[in-house]
Amino acid sequence: MAAAKIEELHKLTQEGDEADLNRVIAIADGLLKTDAKDADMISCKIVATVMKEEYKKAVGMILKDPALAKAHAFELLYCYYQMKDHAAALALVKDTPARGKNKGFWHVEAQLLRRLGRTKEAADIYEKQFISKKGRMSNDDNAGEIRANYVACLSGTNPGKAITYTDKLAKDEWAHGVAFNVASSLADSGKAERAVEVVDMAEKLCKEELKDEDEKEIAQELENISLVKGYVLQKTDKGSDAEAIYRALLGSSQPAVA
């Protein structure tokens, strides 16, 4: 398979458009008729199928061959996670050696453990694989999400460490999820004024980060931030402001009367 064609298919897959993903699968199917063992085409088809959110179908493709299961351990774990097949996901985590886990695998493994209430283990993975100097996390599109998840884990197990970690973040390392998750820890630690600043930052960053997303998604996220802001304000001398926020949220949740 020509390198240029493979590069073109990878580009189409990364763009994630439904039509492009269907095109990738159609091209891969056509070429696999000529060479059913073309590893590059099989890989492109698997990734495109996962991105189409056809998780059960993707799992079936991957499990056809032990070599595929090894090469696509991340995609397999991601599918199990999305399907909420926790037993299969945990078995895969156990059976996959550390050297066979890429950054994506570690991220999903941490999220799986967090979902199952194993928050300390999840925090340890985030710290070792991403946050520490040895983890060498790049400041890519997932960095904000990873930091936010790490802080969320710490806020439940070690609030002091969550505060210490966020205090050291550079301005461009903050994300709305980071601010959202550490605000309550700050308030509960007697740093209510700082908590107010942080939750206001969460609101601002949320609007910036999600400006291209669906309006309903943005509104839901801002409501979540408002709830935390109300909680934080209760820790200050602005209890009336907190009450106003709660009343506004209750009003927005009431169905309209025709």
pLDDT tens, position by position, 94-144: 999 999 999 999 999 999 999 999 999 999 999 999 998 776 676 665 889
Residue appearing with tokens 């590069």: 7
Q: How many C-beta neighbours within 10 Å does residue 227 have?
A: 15
Give mean pLDDT, residues 50-77: 96
> Has residue 83 got a pLDDT over 80?
yes
Distance of CA 121 to the CA centre of its chain: 17
The C-alpha atoms of residue 55 and residue 72 are separated, in whole angstroms, by 13
What are the φ and ψ backbone dihedral angles of 188, each rounded to 5 degrees?
Answer: -70, -20
The C-alpha atoms of residue 28 and residue 76 are separated, in whole angstroms, by 20
> Has residue 10 got a pLDDT over 70?
no
Residue 19 DSSP label: H
CB 223 within 8 A of CB 252: yes
Give mean pLDDT, residues 170-185: 93
The C-alpha atoms of residue 186 and residue 191 are separated, in whole angstroms, by 5
pLDDT of residue 126: 95
> Has residue 178 got a pLDDT over 60?
yes
> Has residue 32 got a pLDDT over 60?
yes
Of 12-16, 53-57, 101-105, 223-227, the range with the lowest mean pLDDT is 12-16
pLDDT of residue 82: 97
Q: DSSP 3-state assignment of 221?
A: helix
Mean pLDDT of the chain, nearest integer: 88
The pTM of this model reads: 0.84
> Has residue 155 got a pLDDT over 90?
yes
What DSSP string runs through 100-113?
Answer: G--HHHHHHHHHHH
**Contacts (Cβ under 8 Å, ≥6 apart) of 167:** none
CA count, 13 A, side-chain hemisphere, 24: 29
Comparing C-alpha atoms, which of 233, 234, 230 is closest to residue 247?
Answer: 230
Most distant CA atoms of the chain, gap in Å: 73
CA count, 13 A, side-chain hemisphere, 195: 26
CB 188 within 8 A of CB 163: no
CB 78 within 8 A of CB 50: yes
pLDDT of residue 139: 64
pLDDT single digits (tens) 192-239: 899 999 999 999 999 999 998 999 999 999 999 999 999 999 888 777
In this structure, which CATH number among 1.10.3470, 1.25.40, 1.10.1060, 1.10.760 belongs to the domain 138-258? Answer: 1.25.40
The C-alpha atoms of residue 105 and residue 98 are separated, in whole angstroms, by 10
Side chain identity at 48, as an amino acid letter? A
pLDDT of residue 253: 53
Q: Helices 39-51 and 18-34: crossing angle, nearest 10°?
A: 150
CB 46 within 8 A of CB 65: no
pLDDT of residue 257: 40
